[in-house]
Structure 1
Amino acid sequence: MAFFLETLFGGLMTGMLYSLVALGFVLIFKASGVFNFAQGAMVLFAALAMARFAEWFPQWFGFESLLLANVLAFLAAALLMFLVAWLIEALVLRHLVNQEGATLLMATLGITYFLDGLGQTIFGSDIYQINIGMPKDPIFILEDTFEGGILLNQEDLIAAGIAAVLVATLSLFFQKTATGRALRAVADDHQAAQSIGIPLNRIWVIVWTVAGIVALVAGMIWGSKLGVQFSLATVALRALPVIILGGLTSVPGAIIGGLIIGVGEKLSEVYLGPYVGGGIEIWFAYVLALVFLLFRPQGLFGEKIIDRV
């Protein structure tokens, strides 16, 4: 039982990190109807900025405090993501209002390759470390209940807590604030939103900035665990099954989908992997997403689209 709970908790914590990446897709789709293929590149770009700023600032300003370096690096990287969001709106999205979805998708692909190249040009292409002080030693809990206790990774536990707080905050933002309601209105109909006075350009800057900050937090956590390297952009591919399960328009769906994928991967790898030679963790999420596409393409919490003719 203790081993099962260890696997379950590990899956839940990994699932929260998947949810955090998936949230960037959901935010932009909810506000603009655009499937943002650039989210993985945004995670990488933000993580590179965080890692390099934390390395450069102590050299430039002559201090040794790790905490101060990380705080300044986070603020500078967040400001940079705001600048990226503003440029994307001004140079790309503003000129594609009411265009076909395929056109907007291709635009996000172009943004992906641009951010990949820009990140390499500015910050370099080596492997960088992000040290935000999260403890990496495992801990044992429930030692009185289970013999030997349950082993948990402290870094995963803290990362999952950060992801949970951010997801909850954004859920409240979308549901309870006027700006959140305006974001949903823009996603439903650009022209109708403009006709009632909702400033489309400002809304898009806001949502891409928020998605950029989400990408920064995700990049910071994944970079702390794995190091910042260009393969980090592929972490977005792990989030695709999550949004298929949860629904492209649902923030709670991103959470539930991430938890299902995280737990399913871990349990299937541990309990089914030995019978099929292992490797289930690599493809489990995509097979599950395929099943959902066949039987419930809008996901668990997505809006069912009915076209009447």
Structure 2
Amino acid sequence: METTSTTRKATIVPLLQVQWDLDVARPVPIIESKRVFLEDLSGMLKADNFDLWKEYLSESQRKQVVSAKVGIVHRFESSSHIGKEEHESKSLLEQISACLQILRPTRSRFQTIQLKFLSDSSTDIFRFSHPQETLPNIPQSDILNTIRAIDIERLHTISPRFLKLAENGPENVVRAARYFLIGYSEIVDNFISSLVTSRIIKHSKKNRLPTFSEVFSRFFDEEDEIVELAKSFEDNIEGYMEWIGPDELRVARDCFEEIRSRVLELLGEGSNAK
């Protein structure tokens, strides 16, 4: 009888803004039943892990990720390269990260990294989400926050209930939990990243991704309505004094929908849009 071999893997969310005395000498449980712990990342993330990703992560981004000494870790086994287990693990840590950001807002850019453990105890990174260039919008009073031991204790208590609410709660709560961390910024970031990796557009100066409006200005005149819509979207999603109000979100959403309709119309698919 043929047996399927499995590989030990992990999804990691590095935590960059942690209190200096946060003790991770031993893994700290977050959701033990799901094998999610706060762990010491020493030895898991090394500079040479990212050698193959130089085109996608700048040197400063690589250094920042490697500098993280603490992170949320979900360990699992998988028999495929990227399949159901990998997607479920990534989704799990995205939701737990959203819960942590609600409990203790920080200006950290949450990023998921997936790796496998090799036979010689080294690690090999095979998937990661591109870190957002813009910092999260949080109240001014929370800008200097760091993750403390008490925040992890609260996460341990609340996250199982948060996951149930995010999965089975009222529709508006489910949507809010799902998009809390992802939001418009990650949608835009993934859109721009796909254009760059497909070589449709190039990085801007200093090897950074172009902004949303810069992408459209490369295909349309500066005075074109679609470029103006993209700029309006950026202005409203940025907010005022680090806040984004409901009116700004509505305007940003309307701009985004108008841009989408215009692009589909130009592609000749406007009548078939879903």
TM score, norm. by length of structure 2: 0.33
Which structure shows the bigger proportion of residues in strand conformation?
A: 2
TM score, norm. by length of structure 1: 0.30
Bigger relative contact order (CA 8 A; separation at least 6): 1
